[in-house]
């Protein structure tokens, strides 16, 4: 089994040894903010992820699972929905929709995050000034963009929903009730509901955690301290990391 990891500026590289020991080959696919990629997430082509999946198949890997967190989870779900080369998704703190693009700094752009065959994917959008996010984050004493996305979703049509029923393999989604960046727990509910309403033949599972932040990863990044839930419940959040690691490894070896 191989994973096309849609990297979200995490410290995954330092954990590649443990992944290899578990019998999983991993390919990190940087899609913004690293050498040779854009600095923004605007009209990024899904084909970039398709190419990574094709490479892994040609390298002898039968199953390719896209794994991502946050925007990376959105990208993983969207890419897998448009390519049979991807054989499943593990989405951490995901969105159930395609979202507006992210420009320089804290700015939301009236454009899609992703394209397919040169066309923008339909997306959710809200015209929200960046200063409001800064002000709300200061007041909340944690980074928060959640209200931006909730406003975008209230204005969005069904066409912005990712057609996840087209995914060619198992789907695992993991969210946090206390997610302050966007409503990932709600997204997990929407994703599973959509799969169960369609003739989706592959296994699918939802994990939603009470003691977790948006940075929901199966290893300690040190970022939880920047969120209220991480500061208030550090021990419980560490237990979530342990539980999530076990769940993901069991799922990938299913």
For residue 16, the model assigns a pLDDT of 40
User: What contacts 24+ positions apart, CB below 8 Å, involve 115-121?
Assistant: 115/43, 115/44, 115/45, 115/46, 116/45, 116/46, 116/47, 116/82, 117/47, 118/45, 120/43, 121/78
Q: Answer yes or no: is pLDDT of 24 > 90.
A: no
- b/e 78-112 (16+ beta carbons within 10 angstroms → b): bbbbbbebbbbbbbbbbbbbbbbbbbeebebbebb
CA distances from 53 to 61, 109, 117, 151, 181 (A): 9, 29, 17, 34, 29
The predicted-structure confidence for 159-206, as pLDDT tens digits, reads as follows: 999 999 999 999 999 999 999 999 999 999 999 999 999 989 999 999
How far apart are alpha carbons 178 and 77 in whole angstroms? 22
pLDDT tens per residue, range 37-82:
899 999 999 999 999 999 999 999 999 999 999 999 999 999 999 9
pLDDT tens digits for 125-147?
Answer: 998 887 788 888 999 999 999 99
Element of type H or E holding 32: none
> Greater confidence, 145 or 3?
145
Tokens found for residue 181: 């960046």
**Cα–Cα distance measured from residue 112 to residue 61, given in angstroms and rounded to the nearest whole number:** 31
Token pair belonging to 9: 């500026």
Q: What is the pLDDT of residue 2?
A: 54
The predicted structure's pLDDT at residue 22: 64
């Amino acid at each position: 089994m191989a994973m096309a990891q849609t990297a979200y500026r995490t410290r995954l590289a330092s954990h590649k040894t443990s992944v290899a020991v578990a019998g999983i080959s991993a390919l990190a696919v940087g899609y913004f903010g690293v050498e040779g990629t854009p600095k923004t997430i605007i009209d990024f082509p899904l084909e970039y992820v398709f190419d990574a999946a094709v490479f892994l198949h040609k390298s002898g890997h039968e199953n390719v699972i896209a794994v991502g967190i946050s925007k990376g989870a959105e990208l993983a779900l969207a890419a897998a929905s448009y390519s049979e080369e991807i054989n499943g998704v593990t989405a951490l703190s995901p969105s159930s929709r395609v979202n507006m693009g992210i420009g320089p700094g804290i700015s939301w752009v009236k454009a899609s995050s992703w394209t397919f065959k040169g066309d923008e994917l339909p997306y959710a959008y809200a015209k929200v000034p960046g200063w409001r996010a800064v002000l709300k984050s200061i007041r909340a004493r944690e980074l928060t963009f959640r209200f931006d996305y909730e406003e975008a979703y209230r204005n969005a049509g069904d066409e912005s929903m990712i057609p996840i029923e087209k995914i060619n393999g198992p789907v695992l989604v993991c969210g946090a009730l206390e997610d302050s960046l966007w409503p990932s727990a709600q997204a997990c509910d929407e994703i599973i509901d959509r799969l169960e309403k369609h003739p989706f033949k592959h296994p699918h599972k939802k994990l939603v955690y009470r003691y977790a932040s948006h940075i929901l990863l199966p290893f300690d990044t040190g970022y939880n301290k920047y969120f209220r839930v991480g500061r208030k419940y550090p021990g419980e959040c560490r237990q979530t990391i342990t539980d999530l690691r076990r769940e993901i490894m069991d799922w990938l070896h299913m």
